[in-house]
Copies of this chain bind each other. A is one copy, B any other.
Amino acid sequence: MYDVAIIGGGPAGVSAAINLKVLGKSFIWFSSQPVSKKAGQAELIKNYPGLPDITGKQFVWTLQNHFEGMNIKLCEEVVTGVYDTGEGFTLLAKDKNYEAKTVILCLGVETVKPIEGEDEFVGKGVSYCATCDGFLYKGKKIAVYCTDKQFEYEVEYLCNLAQTAYVFPMYRGYEIKSPNAQIILKKLTRLSGDVRLKKVEYAGGVAEVDGMFILKGALSPSTLVHGLQVVEGHIAVKRDCSTNIAGVFAAGDCTGRPYQYAKAIGEGNVAAHSAVEYLSKLK
């Protein structure tokens, strides 16, 4: 069991990882991308103290250089669920489980809004993990919502399992080859059903389905961690970056404004120290 699992590869996650390494803790660090794609998009950063007039790309490169120089490695998997086991946390990523005593959420700000009805049908037809739940829908009708080309191999996998897959690719340049795929280039508007998901509604149509897969890099915090307190879209944290769940900490944009590199880096540091303090009390 790891001491800490960090979820998110943006500046907050980098800061948490560097600090945990210095503090001598075992940790696993998940990110769907090698360092945050979003962090690298800034044209010019003038206000990160110590690195004047740096581009987003240079900034990301500098952070990567820092943690790689400390022999810290990223696990490039998407975590699709965090479960409190009482003795720690189980994290589900692809078809593997990971165990950690504490979790630091560095999820960034979700830019993909949840679909109406999404939260209602999680575990009742809505899944975020193709390799975990795909086999449940062998020979059935499914919808697949995919936000990024990097998840396209999972779309193919699902299409090949299903009888029919209504695929909603939310990116340019999709290349989905499965004969079972029906590509729908419309906006998804609503998920509906009764106890379980039954219908996927989109602009100008409805598809009847047995299940649906939502493949995106960032789950909403409350979808990822059941029972996590979220206020106006941000994870509620105390000054020490602790959340309402003992052992779960959060840092960076996901905890609220200002959305700033320095703030994220500062909170990653604080969350790491708070996690270490929490671990010291477990013993």
Q: What is the interface of chain A, defined by CB distance below 8 A to chain B?
A: 11, 14-15, 18-19, 22, 46-53, 59, 62-63, 65-66, 69-70, 237, 239, 255-258, 260, 262-270, 273
In the complex, chain B residues whose CB is within 8 Å of the CB of A270 = 258, 260, 263, 266
Q: State the oligomeric state as a number of copies.
A: 2
In the complex, chain B residues whose CB is within 8 Å of the CB of A48 = 50
User: Which 4 A-B residue pairs are closest in the complex by CB-CB distance?
Assistant: A266-B266, A262-B269, A258-B273, A52-B66
Q: Are B63 and A47 in contact (CB-based, < 8 A)?
A: no
In the complex, chain B residues whose CB is within 8 Å of the CB of A237 = 239
Given A48-B50, A50-B63, A239-B239; 5 other pairs, CB 8 A cutoff: A11-B49, A15-B49, A18-B47, A258-B270, A266-B267
In the complex, chain B residues whose CB is within 8 Å of the CB of A268 = 49, 262
Chain B residue with Cβ nearest A61: B50
Tell me the bound Cα distance from A42 to B63 in angstroms: 21
Tell me the bound Cα distance from A65 to B48 in angstroms: 13
Q: Are A265 and B66 in contact (CB-based, < 8 A)?
A: no
Q: Are B22 and A46 in contact (CB-based, < 8 A)?
A: yes
Q: Are B22 and A265 in contact (CB-based, < 8 A)?
A: no
Q: Are A59 and B70 in contact (CB-based, < 8 A)?
A: no
Tell me the bound Cα distance from A239 to B239 in angstroms: 6
